[in-house]
Amino acid sequence: MADSEVDLQSEQYEKHREAGEILAQVREETAERVEVGVTHLEIAAYAEDRIRELGGQPAFPVNISVDEEAAHATPSIDDETTFGEEMINLDIGVHVDGWLADTAITVDLSGNPELAEASEQALEAAIDVVEPGVSTGDIGAEIEDVIDGYGYNPVVNLTGHGLGHWEQHTSPNIPNRAVSQGTTLEVGDVVAIEPFATDGGGKVTEGAKEEIFALEHERNVRNRQARAALDQITAEFRTLPFATRWLETDRAEMAVRRLKRNNVLHGYPVLKEDDGCLVSQKEHTVIVTEDGCEVTTAHRSG
């Protein structure tokens, strides 16, 4: 679509902005509640309930990643895990009628403020260069340069991403390092930029634990609980990720296992830094405008 044809005041973009405004408030309120002794489930439930109170819906379960975890960790149904003196990443999403915003923040209780600062400053540098015509590879170069300057490594096999309608991850990918063949951003693109910094080698791999799932294929299932779960998934979440604890059916964990075994669902294993080292994260959603970008998830005082 040519730049002149993009109406950044259309209903689509207004809903992206509404989602971002809700999300900025929830991110700040939730981060303030993270402290030693509080349970992961309390924090996830607070954020997800607050999103609904403010008129949005969670776009995915709140990710609460601790220390070497980078993504896809969320509490189970009866999770009693509490925070310790750890590095904690909160990754939160909101949608309004399927139009999304995505944000993340590190709450450092581990005594490593520079690692948290590295991802935060990398995000600011990346946003500063976003405009029509910029290559995503150049954005990645800014991220890599800042994180390297702190003496840390970017996580190179995680990227930022586009946000579609009812789609959490679409093109283009926004790398966290310089790449020679990036995608050129255009007016109207909605992208989440999310630098990850680590004091490890800079790669993540999948762990064994899964608590987040999404619809893969709709098909008939005979089991009553599995059928009830699938009905809720298709009606409420569509193709967006959800947590087992969101399901209202009896024996939800069993229902999810059945649906996954039948290739109805796919899971998101928790991603961990290869060397077992700390990971920090900071993320904003931006809309590319004619003269730069608009950060939809920026906190607005007052």
Tens-digit pLDDT profile for residues 214-245: 999 999 999 999 999 999 999 999 999 999 99
As a whole number, mean pLDDT of residues 19-26 equals: 98
The answer to whether domain 3-207+275-295 and domain 212-269 are alike in fold is: no
72 marked as part of a ligand binding site: yes
Q: What is the pTM of this model?
A: 0.95
Known catalytic membership, residue 299: no
What percentage of the chain reaches a pLDDT higher than 70? 98
Predicted pLDDT at 301: 59
Q: Is the pLDDT of residue 4 over 60?
A: no
Q: How high is the pLDDT of residue 1?
A: 37
- Cite the beta strand spans of 97-154 per DSSP E: 99-108, 153-154
Is 161 annotated as ligand-binding?
yes
Distance CA 24, CA 156 (A): 26
Per-domain boundaries in the chain: 3-207+275-295, 212-269
Residue 300 predicted with pLDDT over 80? no
Work out the pLDDT band at 271, boundaries 50, 70, 90. very high
User: pLDDT tens-digit profile of 59-97?
Assistant: 999 999 999 999 999 999 999 999 999 999 999 999 999
pLDDT digits (tens, 9 = 90+) for 113-159: 999 999 999 999 999 999 999 999 999 999 999 999 999 999 999 99
Cis peptide before 172 (omega within 30 of 0): yes
Mean pLDDT over 171-190 rounds to 96
Confidence at 299, pLDDT banded by 50, 70, 90: confident
Given the residues 194, 199, 211, 273, the one annotated as active site: 194
Domain 212-269: CATH architecture, name and number where available:
Orthogonal Bundle (1.10)
Q: How many CA atoms lie within 13 A of 276 on its CB side?
A: 0
* 186 annotated as belonging to a binding site for a ligand: no
The side-by-side arrangement of strands in the sheet containing 69-71 is 69-71, 265-273, 204-215, 242-243
The answer to whether residue 169 is catalytic is: yes
| Catalytic (active site) residue 218 | no
| d(C-alpha 274, C-alpha 70), whole Å | 10
Q: Say which of 114, 169, 186, 216 is annotated catalytic.
A: 169
7 marked ligand binding residue: no
Where does 3-207+275-295 sit in CATH, by number? 3.90.230.10
283 is catalytic: yes
102 assigned to active site: yes
**Above 70 in pLDDT, residue 255?**
yes
DSSP-derived secondary structure letter, 185:
P
Q: Are 172 and 288 in contact (CB under 8 A)?
A: no
Q: Look up residue 58 and give its two tokens.
A: 């969670």
Dihedral, 113, 118, 121, 126 alpha carbons, nearest 10: -160
- Catalytic annotation, pick one of 16, 40, 95, 161: 161
